[in-house]
Structure 1
């Protein structure tokens, strides 16, 4: 069995606090809105439900272990969810566990209303973790490619202490734009 490194132990709470602050800050920004919210892969966490009390929250997971409202695979079309059914989708620390993150984002975009919000996050500088599989690490440039057909509102970066350009994690707030159909040649990236 692998033992977490000193870095992992030192930054675990920092990463948790960063994620919690992002969720609470975004919930405050959307305080004047309401509607339906889908939380993908919440396990037994309640932060989203507590923070977004002005939304009707439904949960979605690939397994029924934690009693989600809906069981399905976010990387596939889930026909039991209508197009544009949700005003907000929250997908925190899930995308790195999917087999195809591009298909996951495609399905999230399908179920979000035009102009709806996506909160999504994943670690970058973090050890392999469960639930298995843990397949991906996504850089700032990767988020821009992955969310190319969204309007990115904010990329919230938790830098690694003493190590620039290798953040611990990213939280992203994006707005669904159903009219966007970006090509690779349309992408531009911030120079680092």
Structure 2
């Protein structure tokens, strides 16, 4: 098993420190590409809403006043760098501990790639959702391996559509998060961070000079990436990930 030298940082609620969250979204393009569509999608949810793979519950504040938050995560959440929360239901990752048609909506953010059996997982989501319930989901595509050894999948647009359609979801809308420019910029930022913080202190002799040369390139690419979120430049075939909305069939 390879060692994970650059581990993902757990996401905290944007409301906890809005300024810091904006800065992180500028540097972390994966997070930025999730946050923008997620905020408006969550505000549209109503009734009992389940956060699947809740982690630190960073997105609960974005739910509207007509939504009641419920969280679900695996018992091994601490292995993903998450602290257990008092109002989250923890389970073994197999059958979700809820009755059929228990929820009016659900969201699942950057979790599906860590699920060993996505077919069973999506079938469980369909089971616990009411007819016509809305599902909001995101997955990475062009992302480094993370939370090793629990990174199992990368999903294409075609695979996502087939997966959800086969388990009773309709009105499946899949949007690319970012493009090839954002993907290149994201990887350049990771390289810069690894140069600034090498695995061994003695490596600073060569990593620090490289970081000083690399940092301006990464900053320029970051600016181009954020521009590409606004101006239609860049290819969609190599996005950072996908953002999915779907509805449970009536």
- TM-score (ref. length: structure 1): 0.78
Say which of 66, 69, 72 aligns to 1:57.
Answer: 69
Deviation at 1:15, TM superposition (A): 1.7
Alpha-carbon displacement from aligned partner over 1:9-57 (angstroms, at most 9, x marks no partner): xx96222111111111212344xxx21011011211422x111133111
Preserved contact between residue 97 and residue 131 of structure 1 (Cα < 8 Å)? no
Equivalent residue in structure 2 for 1:160, among 170, 180, 186: 180
Pick aligned residue for 1:15 from 30, 37, 40: 30
Q: Matched residues in 2 for 1:143 and 1:86: separation?
A: 22
Deviations 1:76-128 (A, max 9, x none): 323x3110000111111111001001111000000011100111111011100
1:1-192 to 2 correspondences below 5 Å: 1=3, 13-30=28-45, 34-47=46-59, 49-53=60-64, 54-63=66-75, 65-67=83-85, 69-74=88-93, 76-78=94-96, 80-130=97-147, 132-148=149-165, 149-158=168-177, 159-161=179-181, 162-178=234-250
RMSD: 2.4
Q: Which runs of 5+ in 2 are unaligned?
A: 7-25, 78-82, 182-233
Contact preservation (8 Å) 1:82, 1:111 = yes
**Residue 3 (structure 1) shift:** 5.4
Larger Rg: 2
Structure in which a larger fraction of residues adopt helix: 2
Alpha-carbon separation, structure 1, partners of 2:162 and 2:242: 14
Higher RCO (Cα < 8 Å, 6 or more apart): 2
1:12/1:83 CA distance change after superposition, 3 Å: farther
Comparing both structures, which one devotes a greater share of its residues to strand?
A: 1
Q: How many aligned positions are there?
A: 168
Asked if the contact 1:152–1:172 (Cα under 8 Å) also holds between the matched residues in 2, the reply is no
Off by >3 Å, runs of 4+ in structure 1: 1-4
Residues 128-154 of structure 1, C-alpha deviation per residue, up to 9 Å, x if partnerless? 001641000000001111111211342
State the partner residue of 2:207: none
Cα distance change, pair 12–124 in 1 and its aligned pair in 2 (3 A): farther
